[in-house]
Amino acid sequence: FRAGSAPRAIYDNITQTVGRTPVVKINRLAPAGVEVYAKCEFFNPLSSVKDRLALAIIEHAEATGALKPGQTVVEATSGNTGISIAMMCAQRGYPCVIVMAETFSVERRKVMRALGAKVVLTPAAERGSGMVKKAQELAAKHGWFLARQFENEANAAFHQNTTGPEVLLDFATRRLDYWVTGYGTGGTFAGAGAMIKKARPSVKIVLSEPENAALVASGTPQERQADGSPASTHSAWAPHPIQGWTPDFVPLNLQGGLDEKVHDMLVPVSGDEAIATARDLARKEGLFTGISGGATMAAALKVAKDAPAGSVLCAMLPDTAERYLSTPLFAEIEADMNADEVGISKSTPGFHLG
């Protein structure tokens, strides 16, 4: 239980800075009569909630002996988990191989390689389940440690012991009516959601997913291999722009939360809503979060519109917008000066570009 630990000025290594992320009030986007807050997971050292997952998996594997000194760590990821695992491996001295579908943003590949990881790309047509199977092949062939973020019990357990208690501590003397999250592996939802629900049963747990990839809403069971990993693409999945959210299968960690009936509400969000809300958070609140953060906040704002007066909501913002520079989130952002900027430049006589 780390939520109550006081922050320090000096740390022994970078992994000790994971967690204890701030909660920030939404002042201009929230509807009148309610309060909306964001838990900003991009304050983690490598700028995403996945730093928690990576630390949990590596520490658990070391403690149980599943990960041996000098052994290569391999994992399939949309990017953020790979970046976080690469950080953990760099700090501890493990070789790292990340498997990622070619559709995910180029900047994520570069960050992982900058951290010393090898990045193996898989064809877009094979989707997320394809990259998972490739990681399994590599682990079996070479005797590498497979992190298994989608099935690893350490994932949800860490969120239950850190993220959930942090939210409870943040709102210990305050009202809290709704806690809102999306899902990638489902670890945040299953772990933190379960802890919040147990400690404060009146808090409604809101789960969100892409409206065109509504795996949970479909109610269709996921076909699985013996180890719990996906056997095939889920029939309700379709491509969507919310990177890090909703792979083409129902992860086992997510299924655990669903089986425990952690969520009280399920709110769909479109890709356009996610992108628009992420842009609004940047321009109107100064919160620089990615498409997944925009999606989660879009869901929270939908709930807020119909919530009773005085309600208080907290939404998870999983990562930074800097992971999305080559995605549709930045499609309207130009690198060169626009007409307004040229006009500002020409308003004084000197230092004009040619």
What does 43-110 look like in DSSP terms, one character per residue? GSTTSBTHHHHHHHHHHHHHHHTSS-TTPPEEEE-SSHHHHHHHHHHHHHT--EEEEEETTS-HHHHH
Cα dist from 191 to 76, 81, 155, 160, 306, whole Å: 21, 17, 8, 4, 27
Of the residues 39, 47, 48, 50, only one is catalytic, namely 50
**Catalytic annotation on 50?**
yes
Residue among 277, 283, 322 at smallest CA distance from 296: 277
Per DSSP, the three-state class of 209 is: strand
Distance CA 156, CA 346 (A): 56
Distance CA 28, CA 38 (A): 13
Cα-to-chain-centroid distance, residue 344: 39
Q: What does the block give as tokens for 126?
A: 């094979």
Distance CA 332, CA 353 (A): 22
Distance CA 19, CA 48 (A): 10
Pair type for strands 23-26 and 35-40? antiparallel
**Catalytic annotation on 292?**
yes
Nearest-Å Rg of the Cα atoms of the chain is 20
Residue whose structure tokens are 């321009």: 283
Residue among 317, 321, 313 at smallest CA distance from 296: 317
First CA to last CA distance, the chain? 59
- Angle of helix 271-280 relative to helix 291-306, nearest 10 degrees, comes to 90
CB 314 within 8 A of CB 176: yes
From the CB of residue 285, how many other CB atoms can be counted at a distance below 10 Å?
18
Active site residues: 50, 292
